[in-house]
Structure 1
Amino acid sequence: MSKPMGGGASESQFWRNYQNILVQKQVNPQHFQWYVKWCQQFTKFIGALPLMDCQPAHVSVFLDNLKSSKAIEEWQYRQARTALWYLFRDYLKISWAADGQRNRAVPQYPSRPPALSEAHQATLRKLRSTLVGRQYAKRTVGAYLDWATRFLGYYPHRNIADLDAAAVRAYLSDLAETHNVAVNTQKQALNALVFLFQESEKIPLGDFSDFARARKPIKVPVVLSRDEVSALLRELPSPLSLMGNLLYGGGMRLMEVIRLRIKDVDFALGQIVVRDGKGRKDRITMLPEICLDPLKQQIAEARLIHAQDLAKNYGEVWLPSALIKKYPGAARDWRWQYVFPASRMSVDPESGKVRRHHFDESAVQRAVREAARQIGLSKTVTPHTLRHSFATHLLESGYDIRTVQELLGHADVATTMIYTHVLSRPGIGVRSPLDVV
C-alpha cells in the first residue's frame, strides 16, 4: 500500500477510514481534524517513503522535532503522538506498533491511476537506475527523470523503441514555440533526452540539431558595489553571515557552500576544495582570512551536533553509493559531515533512513533577500549576486581573467567574459557627454 499523496478520492477515503478508527476509539469528534492534521504532517515529513515501510525511528525523529519546536505545546505533542499511534497500530496494523501482532493488512481503497503506461514506467525505472549507477547528483537525477516523464507523456501511446530523433526534435521545438521556455530550460531537456536514448536505451539519435531553439536573451549579471556587499553581509545573522562571506569571498555557488564537508576545508593552506561542482568538476578556491575563526567555530558546532546524533544511534550522513563501498565507515566519520548541518533530522526519500541533511538553501535565499530589503537596495539580490560581485571585483583589482575563470570553475572563458561588461571602469574608456559639458 502506498501512502496517500496529493488530492483525489483515494486520499479522502483513506482519511475517512482513519476517522472511523477514531470513532471506534471514542476520540472526541471535535479533535478528528487535528488527529488527521498531525498524520498528514507526518506523511509530508517522510516524503516519498510509503507508510507501510516506516520504522519506529521515523516516528521518533518526527516527534523529537515537534518536541524541540518552541511553537508546539506539550499537549500538542501528546496529541500528535496519539494520532500516530492510532494510525500505525489500529489502522495500518503494523507489527512494531501493534504489540507484536503480525497482521499487516490494511483497508483497501482505490489508488490513483498512473499518468504513464506500464511500458513508460519501466523506461523511467531503467533511466533512474542508469543515472544512479553513473553517480549523477540527486538533483540531476530528479531533473532528468522529470524531463523524461514529460517527454513520454507527450507520446502516451508510443513505446520508447518506436521513438526517434524526429520525436525528440518535435518535442524540443514545441517547448520553444508553444511553451516559450528559456534557453537553459530547453538545453536541460535536450541533455536529459540525449541521455535517455543514447545512454539508458542505447538508441542512437544521430543529428537532430535543426529543432526550433529558444532565444537566449543577452543579460548582464546583477553586481553589488563593495560597500553594498559589506552592508549586506553585516545584516545577515550567524551562521548565514559566514555562508555569505564564503559566497562572496570564495566565489562559491550556494549549493557548493551548504554541501561543504568538514574534510574539504584546509586551514593550513588557506583554501577550500569544492567537490563535485557544476559539471561534476572539483576545483580549489581561496579561504578568506576573515572566515578562519568563524569557520573553526562552525565546524566545532557541527562536530558537537554529530556527536549528539551518534549518541542517539544516528549520525550517518549521505554519501554517494561508490564512496560508501570504498569507505564503509565514512558516513559516520565527523570529517565527512556537512559544515552547515540542518537543525533537524529528516527522512532520506530514497533509502528511508533517518539522517541530518545539510542546511536548507531556501533559508539562505530568504535571508539574503530580506537583508537586501533591510538595507534599502533597489537591485534584485540573490545569493548568486555575491558570486557575480566576487568575479567583478577581482577583475577590477587587476587579476587576469584566466585566474578568475579557474576560481569560478567556468569551463569556457567566454562565460567569465560577461563580467567585463559590468566593470566600473569599462575598457573602452568612454565618458558620458553630460560629464564633459
Structure 2
Amino acid sequence: MPSSFIESIRQVLRTKHYSLRTEKSYLYWVRYFIRFHQYMHPKDMQGCHIEQFLTFLSCNRGVSSATQNQALCALIFMFKHVLSMEFEGLKYGYAKKPKNLPTVLTPIEVALILRHLSAPYWLLTSLLYGCGLRLREALTLRVQNVNIEAQSLFVFRGKGAKDRYTLLPKQLNQPLQNQIQLVNEIHKNDLNNGNGLTSVPSALHRKYKSVLKDLSWQYLFPSTTTCCHPIDGYLCRHHIHESSFSKNLRNAVIKSNIQKRVTAHTFRHSFATQLLAQGSDIRTVQELLGHKDLRTTEIYTHVLGQNRAGTISPFDRLSDIVN
C-alpha cells in the first residue's frame, strides 16, 4: 500500500486534533487491515471486508472486546473521514465490554509496593494513589501544575480533554520539592548545552515557543534523554515512558508477594475506594477523579459492598439456632 495513503490518514487525524497515541493506534490497525486483505486498496472494499477482519480478530486472534472496538473505530474513521464511504447493516457493532469490578489494594499492600520502588517511581506511584491520577495524567504533570501552598494538583487535559484540580497529600510536599529541584538541575544542564525545550503539542509549541524553556513548563518526571519531537522535529526533553514505569511497578509487586493483578490504574481505583470508605461524598470523589458520569464512580460502592446494605448470610445465623 503506497505510503501516500497512510500519510493522508495521518493528516486527517492531525487536522481533527486526535492524540498521537490514537494516531499510532489507528494507523496500526489500518495497516493490519490492508495486509490481511492482501494489500487491496480500501476504496475497493466493502462492508464484508470489515466483517471478515473482525471475525479473524475475534476467532483466530482471540482479542478482547476493547481491542476489537479499537480496530473497528480505526476502520470506520478511515472509511468515513478519508474515503467518504459509509457502510450500513454491518454484522458487527461495537462489542460489549464485560462489567468487571476493579481490583483494589489495601493501604498495607500499597505501602508494601512503595517500599520496593525507588525514585522517581516511588513518587510517581504515590501520586497515583494519593491523588487518584491516571498514569498518563501523572506522567504529563509539569512543574507549574504543582501547587504546594494550596495542596492541589492541576490536571491539564485529562481524559476527555477536561481540566480539573485534585487534592495533594501533605506528606508528598517534601518529596515533590526534591523532585522539582532535580528537574531544575537537569533543565539547567540542558540550557548550558543549548537546549532546554520541553515537548508540547504542536499548537502549544507555536503559541508558547518563547516560554518553553522556562522551568515551569518542564515535566515533573523528565526522561533521562532528549529526543526529536515526533511532529515538529525540534530537540526536546519528554517525560518518562509508560513502559519504564510498568516494568518497575511489576518488579515491585513481585517483590511484595502480592497475589493480585496490579497496574497503574489499580492505585486510582484504590484511591476512590478509600475515600468512599472514609465517608467522602460520592460527588466529591467524582469530581476528584474527573468522571463525567456519576454511574462510573458508583462502581466503587459495589467494591466496598455497600450495595448489600449490611445483609447477613443465613449461614452466619446457624450458630444461633444450634446453640
TM-score normalised per structure 2 = 0.88
Counting only pairs closer than 5 Å after superposition, residues 183-262 of structure 1 correspond to structure 2 as 183-201=65-83, 203-205=84-86, 207-208=88-89, 210-211=91-92, 214=95, 216-262=97-143
The reply on whether 1:427 has 2:308 as its aligned counterpart is: yes
- Mapped to 2, the partners of 1:149 and 1:330 lie a distance apart of 38
Letter in 2 for 1:412: D
Distance 1:361 1:434, change over 3 A: same
| 8 Å Cα contact 1:252/1:408 also seen in 2 | yes
Distance 1:413 1:207, change over 3 A: farther
Letter in 1 for 2:222: P
SS state at 2:239 partner: coil
Residue in structure 1 matching 2:152, options 253, 265, 271: 271
Q: Which residue of 2 aligns with 1:9?
A: none
Q: CA deviation at 1:434?
A: 4.8
Q: CA deviation at 1:237?
A: 1.9
Cα RMSD after superposing both structures: 2.4
- Mapped to 2, the partners of 1:412 and 1:172 lie a distance apart of 30
Letter in 1 for 2:80: Q
Letter in 2 for 1:269: A
Q: CA deviation at 1:364?
A: 2.1
Q: Which residue of 2 aligns with 1:31?
A: none
* Unpaired runs of at least 5, structure 2: none
- Mapped to 1, the partners of 2:217 and 2:81 lie a distance apart of 31
| 8 Å Cα contact 1:166/1:208 also seen in 2 | no
Q: Which residue of 1 aligns with 2:218?
A: 337
Q: Which residue of 2 aligns with 1:145?
A: 27
| 8 Å Cα contact 1:391/1:404 also seen in 2 | yes
Distance 1:403 1:204, change over 3 A: farther
Instruction: Give the aligned length.
Output: 318
- Mapped to 1, the partners of 2:163 and 2:82 lie a distance apart of 26
- Mapped to 1, the partners of 2:284 and 2:68 lie a distance apart of 31
Q: CA deviation at 1:390?
A: 0.6
Q: Which residue of 1 aligns with 2:64?
A: 182
| 8 Å Cα contact 1:181/1:214 also seen in 2 | no
Deviations 1:308-364 (A, max 9, x none): 101101111111111111112133222111011112234445555443221132232
| 8 Å Cα contact 2:188/2:196 also seen in 1 | yes
The reply on whether 1:374 has 2:258 as its aligned counterpart is: no
* Structure whose CA Rg is larger: 1
- Mapped to 1, the partners of 2:121 and 2:96 lie a distance apart of 36
Q: Which residue of 2 aligns with 1:44?
A: none
Distance 1:277 1:165, change over 3 A: farther
Q: Which residue of 2 aligns with 1:362?
A: 243
| 8 Å Cα contact 2:69/2:94 also seen in 1 | no
SS state at 1:233 partner: helix
Q: CA deviation at 1:139?
A: 1.2
The reply on whether 1:306 has 2:192 as its aligned counterpart is: no
Q: CA deviation at 1:260?
A: 0.9
- Mapped to 2, the partners of 1:309 and 1:351 lie a distance apart of 19
| 8 Å Cα contact 1:169/1:211 also seen in 2 | yes
Deviations 1:63-119 (A, max 9, x none): xxxxxxxxxxxxxxxxxxxxxxxxxxxxxxxxxxxxxxxxxxxxxxxxxxxxxx22x
| 8 Å Cα contact 1:420/1:426 also seen in 2 | yes
Distance 1:175 1:410, change over 3 A: farther
Distance 1:129 1:213, change over 3 A: closer
Distance 1:367 1:158, change over 3 A: closer
- Mapped to 1, the partners of 2:182 and 2:60 lie a distance apart of 51
Q: Which residue of 2 aligns with 1:88?
A: none
Q: CA deviation at 1:408?
A: 1.9
| 8 Å Cα contact 1:173/1:212 also seen in 2 | no
Q: Which residue of 2 aligns with 1:285?
A: 166
Q: CA deviation at 1:378?
A: 1.8
SS state at 2:154 partner: strand
Q: CA deviation at 1:166?
A: 4.2
SS state at 1:343 partner: strand
- Mapped to 1, the partners of 2:9 and 2:143 lie a distance apart of 33
- Mapped to 1, the partners of 2:217 and 2:295 lie a distance apart of 35
Distance 1:434 1:365, change over 3 A: farther
Distance 1:290 1:207, change over 3 A: farther
- Mapped to 2, the partners of 1:197 and 1:406 lie a distance apart of 37
Q: CA deviation at 1:150?
A: 1.4
Deviations 1:205-237 (A, max 9, x none): 254453166453342211111222233223322
Q: CA deviation at 1:243?
A: 1.0
- Mapped to 1, the partners of 2:12 and 2:153 lie a distance apart of 31
- Mapped to 2, the partners of 1:179 and 1:212 lie a distance apart of 18
- Mapped to 2, the partners of 1:411 and 1:360 lie a distance apart of 27
Deviations 1:274-312 (A, max 9, x none): 222223332222122222221122112112211110110
Residue in structure 2 matching 1:397, options 269, 278, 293: 278
| 8 Å Cα contact 2:153/2:166 also seen in 1 | yes
Q: Which residue of 2 aligns with 1:27?
A: none
SS state at 1:345 partner: strand
- Mapped to 2, the partners of 1:233 and 1:126 lie a distance apart of 46
Distance 1:265 1:417, change over 3 A: same
| 8 Å Cα contact 1:164/1:205 also seen in 2 | no
Q: CA deviation at 1:238?
A: 2.5
The reply on whether 1:168 has 2:50 as its aligned counterpart is: yes
The reply on whether 1:319 has 2:192 as its aligned counterpart is: no
Q: Which residue of 2 aligns with 1:111?
A: none
Q: CA deviation at 1:249?
A: 0.9
- Mapped to 2, the partners of 1:195 and 1:268 lie a distance apart of 45
